[in-house]
Amino acid sequence: MTYRKRMILLMTLDSLIVSTAIFIALWIVFPATKSIDITVFVWSSITLLLSHHIFAFIYKLYNKVWAYASVRELLSITKAVTLSILVTGVVQFLINDFVIYRRALIVTWMMHILLIGGSRFAWRMYRNRFITDHSDQKRTLIVGAGDAGAMIARQLKTSSNESELHPIGFIDDDLRKQHMDVYNLPVLGNVSEIEGIVKEHDIEHIVIAIPSLENGALKKIVESCTIPNIQVQMIPKLEDLMTGKVSVSNLKNVEVEDLLGREPVSLDINSISEYVTGETILVTGAGGSIGSELCRQLVRFNPAEIVLVGHGEYSIYNIHMELTNNRVGETIFTPVIADVKDRDCIFEIAKQYKPKVIYHAAAHKHVPLMEYNPHEAVKNNVLGTRNVAEAADYAGVDTFVLVSTDKAVNPTNVMGSTKRIAEMVIQNISKTSNTTFTAVRFGNVLGSRGSVIPLFRKQLNEGGPITVTAPEMTRYFMTIPEASRLVIQAGTLAESGDIFVLDMGEPVKIVDLAKNLIRLSGYSEDDIEITYTGIRPGEKMYEELLGEDEIIPGQVFEKIYRGRTPEINFEVVEDMITHFLQKDEAELSKHLINMANFRMEELKVLSYVE
């Protein structure tokens, strides 16, 4: 139906309601024998009809989609009807010797509210009950009958034609809500009863609608909801809802990252603001998982400029476009395509932009690949770090932060060894430089490129099997935003030569991650097979964050620890780097193997595995 036809229909319906209501009101209020002033009655009817249409236009009663009507629309009806009755009362007052039929007007007002409001809401009820087809929609259970759950239920019901989900009821542990209805949907039970309720009501989908849930509580609820062939989604957490209302489009799949069981760290906003706001910041590897998230987190503190340095043209293009399109403050985003292995180029960049802080996130990090390409690991992770660190010293940078890894502790692989040498490089430079050099170690980052979760998801989408190296293999895990925030915070705490370690919580079995991902995707382990492939070249069964001789007790900030590495004979490292640079390309791999076999007491952590 066109807008014009729809408006004419509603105006005609309202005209009939207004005209009929005033007759019914007179019939109710006055006995049939009492005489009525016809002049007053006619003028009252005309005034009421005209004023109703005028106020209906003012409050847009003919422009609203009544299929989605709510309390706000009812308030608009009440305002329009009340004002039209008041205007009618004034007219009666003027033409009837300053006497008005008060009781008749009150009854007319009530009749208008009932009939006009009823005509609108009746269409919504009819549409939801008889027109909307729920057969193709998933029967949905909402966990949480609070404000967020009620909002989700309302949106799913009012957008029933567009939504794939049809709400059936709520789950809530609050005893006061048991056996109550919210938006005509019953609270069916508590969290412990979910499995039985799912079977009883043929539930196909579960939405967790408690945005303030802490990770530990969320994990318990998700475990209750992970039933084969049932998809589980959730609304964003409270910290992600700062700028918008909860809507159906906000629903997201429950991710493995949500089940780490750790609470988000509270940053020292003031110290970071003093350190970053209004300054020029340079991020190497800005197109990578950690580098790009560092940029997103830094934007919050309104630096004057963020220089995005990276070797990959497409990745730098993506982060530059993202930051530019989402710009809030006055920060300038400058994309720079450069390779950290190009010493002259890196020095020129540092000289040109003169950043206050450099976050060095550019690195090769894939353990098995670096076993096959040791020369590239050394060139990128060691020589690249040395280039950027010496450029920072040359340009008078205030702080240099190296993003390191737990694999640098007692390394058994090329990647970990090169990152440990990179730490030694910046520690040595820090002894003679005015720049504060520090490194931040953390473990595996969930969702980063080349990490295990994207691989598991790909295998899951292909129907399995999911491959795990060994049943007992454990790793420390952290989310990308969590790691990036703590890297920024650690930079404010640094004293030259420090190595900071982030609290990664308890180590997690890789096989448990795979099982959680299978269940969260609505499958069982009978549907998706898990196979074991054996430990790959260079891998450890367990990871460490600090060596025994590196630990300094106590946190320097929430979830951040300071470590001190033992003194080293850096001349040996320099000698190895010099020899490495003097070798031609054909001999690089052989030379690195010789380095790996040269186990020096001063550099105990520098041993590789062939």
Active site residues: 407
Distance in angstroms (rounded) separating the CA atoms of residues 609 and 471: 22
Closest by Cα among 141, 195, 200, 131 to 168:
141
Three-class SS of residue 485? helix
Distance in angstroms (rounded) separating the CA atoms of residues 64 and 577: 73
Distance in angstroms (rounded) separating the CA atoms of residues 275 and 303: 9
Question: What does the DSSP 8-state code read for residue 469?
Answer: S
**How crowded is residue 134: how many other Cβ atoms within 10 Å of its Cβ?**
12
- According to DSSP, the residues that pair with 233 across neighbouring strands are 207, 253
Q: What is the 3-state secondary structure (H, E, C) of 303-347?
A: CCEEEEEECCHHHHHHHHHHHHHCCCCCCEEEEEECCCCCHHHHH
The encoded tokens of residue 154 equal 């309302």
Distance in angstroms (rounded) separating the CA atoms of residues 166 and 179: 20
Closest by Cα among 526, 525, 527, 519 to 231:
519
- 201-237: b or e for each residue (b if 16 or more CB lie within 10 Å)? eebbbbbbbbbebebeebbebbebbbbeebbbbbbeb
